[in-house]
């Protein structure tokens, strides 16, 4: 697993999707046609993989046939085997995400507004952020046991820093004149937070939301993989233990679909909450 440096906050890219869509249209290919091309590309790659596997050119043991992977996925779903695991993983990810986001938002706002605290905490936060998070997994296993809490703690350390640094940047980058204007209109500190700082930081928080949702799930799965009694990571580790590569790929595939669906929902939410943003035409 890569441990990104979450300090490097992502600049929000206003109206990214729409711009891309426009550019595509200008290049003469409609969205619908592009979908068709994408499907064709996927079919070609998967088909080649399948054929090469059947022809014995790539080793079926390490790269199981796509058809076998899908069959395994189907059997995991139809027998209901995967759902309890998925449910556990989702619980862990959701808890890690909720607690990590809440803590990141709170501390981000606090430190952005209180300069003294920011200067006080800065080196420590840098130190913890520099720590490759995977090394924490063993100690969390010892502290919190094999149950869900060790994974929640692990996911928390991933989510927290991303949300925290983005919130900090977001609040500190609020346009000075907007704050002054609100103050002149009689805003109290609380009203400033509500009407100016939170909406302004939202763009930053959202740009981190996609990553932090992914990291919450990553944290849960990696934690499970390293030691657990349930969860998709555990299921993958089980399959690996008996050299069942189809099972490993099936677990990966299911996770991928789940993350895609969640990302789609986050996109929806983002588009609704940031509807005031100008759509930039390039």
Partner 1 sequence: MTLSSAGTPTQYAVELQGCTKQFSTPGGGTYFAVRDIDLKVEPGRFVSIVGPTGSGKSTILNMAAGLLKPSSGTASSFGAPVHGVNRRASYMFQQDALLPWKTVIENVSLGLTMAGVGKAEAHSEAQRWLEKVGLKNFADRYPHQLSGGMRKRTAVAQAWIVNPDILLMDEPFSALDVQTRQIMENELLALWQESGKAVVFITHDLDEAIALSDEVVILGAGPGSTVVGNYEITIPRPRDLLDIRDDPKFVELHREIWGRLKIEVSKTYEAARAEEGEVA
Residues that bind partner 1 (CB under 8 A): 177-178, 180-188, 191, 195-196, 199-200, 202, 276-278
Shortest gap between Cβ of 152 and partner 1 (angstroms)?
33
- The nearer residue to partner 1, 46 or 187, going by C-beta atoms, is 187
Backbone angles phi, psi at 171, to 5 degrees: -70, -40
Q: Which residue's CB is nearer to partner 1, number 182 or number 237?
A: 182
Nearer to partner 1, 92 or 169 (CB): 169
| Alpha-carbon span 264 to 277, nearest angstrom | 19
Nearer of residues 177 and 260 to partner 1, judged by Cβ? 177
Smallest gap from Cβ 112 to partner 1, in A, equals 18
Nearer to partner 1, 29 or 188 (CB): 188
Residue 255 sits at the vertex; the CA angle it makes with 207 and 106, to the nearest 5 degrees, is 35
Minimal distance, residue 278 CB to partner 1, in Å: 4
* Residue 117: alpha-carbon gap to chain centroid: 28
Nearer to partner 1, 126 or 191 (CB): 191
C-alpha 221/C-alpha 236 separation (Å) is: 9
CB of 17 to partner 1, least distance (A): 18
CB 281, min distance to partner 1, A: 12
What's the CA gap between 2 and 132, in Å, rounded? 9
Smallest gap from Cβ 29 to partner 1, in A, equals 29
In the complex, minimum distance from the CB of residue 214 to partner 1, in angstroms, rounded to a whole number: 26
Nearer to partner 1, 78 or 282 (CB): 282
Write down the least CB distance from residue 262 to partner 1, Å: 25
Structure tokens at 225: 């993989």
Nearer to partner 1, 8 or 275 (CB): 275
Rounded to a whole number, what is the distance in angstroms from the first to the last CA of the chain?
35
């Amino acid at each position: 697993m890569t441990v990104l440096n979450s300090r490097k906050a992502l600049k929000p890219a206003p109206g990214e999707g729409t711009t891309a869509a426009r550019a595509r249209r200008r290049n003469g290919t409609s969205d619908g046609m592009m979908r068709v091309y994408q499907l064709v590309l996927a079919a070609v790659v998967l088909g080649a993989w399948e054929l090469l596997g059947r022809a014995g050119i790539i080793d079926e043991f390490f790269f199981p046939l796509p058809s076998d992977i899908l069959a395994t996925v189907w059997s995991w779903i139809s027998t209901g085997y995967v759902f309890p695991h998925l449910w556990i993983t989702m619980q862990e990810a959701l808890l890690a995400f909720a607690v990590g986001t809440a803590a990141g938002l709170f501390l981000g706002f606090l430190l952005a507004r209180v300069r003294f605290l920011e200067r006080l905490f800065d080196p420590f936060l840098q130190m913890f952020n520099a720590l490759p998070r995977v090394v924490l997994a063993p100690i969390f296993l010892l502290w919190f046991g094999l149950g869900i809490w060790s994974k929640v703690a692990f996911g928390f350390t991933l989510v927290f820093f991303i949300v925290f640094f983005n919130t900090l940047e977001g609040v500190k980058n609020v346009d000075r004149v907007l704050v002054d204007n609100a103050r002149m209109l009689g805003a109290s500190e609380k009203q400033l937070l509500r009407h100016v700082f939170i909406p302004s930081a939202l763009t930053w928080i959202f740009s981190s939301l996609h990553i932090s949702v992914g990291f919450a799930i990553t944290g849960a799965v990696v934690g499970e993989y390293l030691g657990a009694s349930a969860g998709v990571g555990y299921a993958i580790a089980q399959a690996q233990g008996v050299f069942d590569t189809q099972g490993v790929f099936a677990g990966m595939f299911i996770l991928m679909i789940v993350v895609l669906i969640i990302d789609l929902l986050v996109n929806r939410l983002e588009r609704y909450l940031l509807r005031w943003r100008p759509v930039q035409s390039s």
